[in-house]
Structure 1
Amino acid sequence: LSSHLQHHFSLSSVYSHYFPDTGIPEVTTCHSRSAITVDYIFYSAEKEDVAEKPGAEVALVGGLKLLARLSLLTEQDLWTVNGLPNENNSSDHLPLLAKFRLEL
């Protein structure tokens, strides 16, 4: 059995997974065992409309258009507030939020 999962859907992540200015990874969870991205919002996009470089902004032409997203934080940002959960975030995962427009 292969440990590789494949599909033919053209999906893009709402998040770039790296901060464009620094290349530092965004994280969605940060606790005693790890600080990594394990949560995603995927949406349909044409391959030629998706930014190829990590950290680059995603801009689509036609179809489902990403208008905005809630920013994520770095591991260092989260450790300054003692990781997750903390007094401001009751979950051990950061919330994800995206706003789209469907252009027909």
Structure 2
Amino acid sequence: RWGTREADASGGAWGEPAFTSCTEVFASTLDYIWYGGGRAAAAGPYTDMGGGREEGQGSNGLVLTGLLELPGLSHATQDRGLPSESYPSDHLTLLARFRLNNAP
């Protein structure tokens, strides 16, 4: 499901996530998806971006159309950090959806 909501103080869809890996004593951002497009708001469980230059279109014609929303730290640490039953890796999954914009 790709939804829409405003970005929050933790960085939202743009900027560095609060964390991508955590244990009982450690939480940090170790994983990234690099993209040089425009900016847009966060959403959940996926971020839905528009299609214009101000809404996620890079100069290469690649348009960011969505991002997987990451869980909050309190949710990810319910079972004393990662990995857990809900998150089977010690790193969270990062997922982005793009489309090619062939317009000149």
TM, length-normalised to structure 1: 0.60
CA contact (8 A) 2:20 2:27 kept: yes
CA contact (8 A) 2:57 2:64 kept: no
Give the structure 2 partner of residue 50 of structure 1: 39
Structure 1 runs, 4 residues or longer, greater than 3 Å off: none
- Structure 1 or 2, whichever has the larger Rg, is 1
The 3-state SS of whatever aligns with 1:44 is coil
Give the CA deviation at 1:85: 0.4
Q: RMSD over aligned Cα, in angstroms? A: 2.4
Give the structure 2 partner of residue 11 of structure 1: none
Give the structure 1 partner of residue 75 of structure 2: 77
Gaps (5+ residues) in structure 2?
A: 1-5, 11-16, 43-48, 50-54
Give the number of aligned pairs. Answer: 78
The 3-state SS of whatever aligns with 2:79 is coil
Is 2:94 aligned against 1:96?
A: yes
What letter matches 1:20 in structure 2?
A: A
Give the CA deviation at 1:26: 3.0
1:87 pairs with 85, 88, 92, which one? Answer: 85
What letter matches 1:50 in structure 2?
A: R
Q: After superposition, give the CA deviation of every residue in 1:46-102 in whole Å (9 maximum; x if it has no partner).
A: xxx336xxxx45722461111111111222221223210011222100111111001
The 3-state SS of whatever aligns with 1:77 is helix
Give the structure 1 partner of residue 14 of structure 2: none
Give the structure 2 partner of residue 60 of structure 1: 56
What letter matches 1:41 in structure 2?
A: I
Is 2:22 aligned against 1:30?
A: yes
The 3-state SS of whatever aligns with 1:42 is coil
Give the structure 2 partner of residue 14 of structure 1: none
Give the structure 1 partner of residue 3 of structure 2: none
TM, length-normalised to structure 2: 0.60
Gaps (5+ residues) in structure 1?
A: 1-18
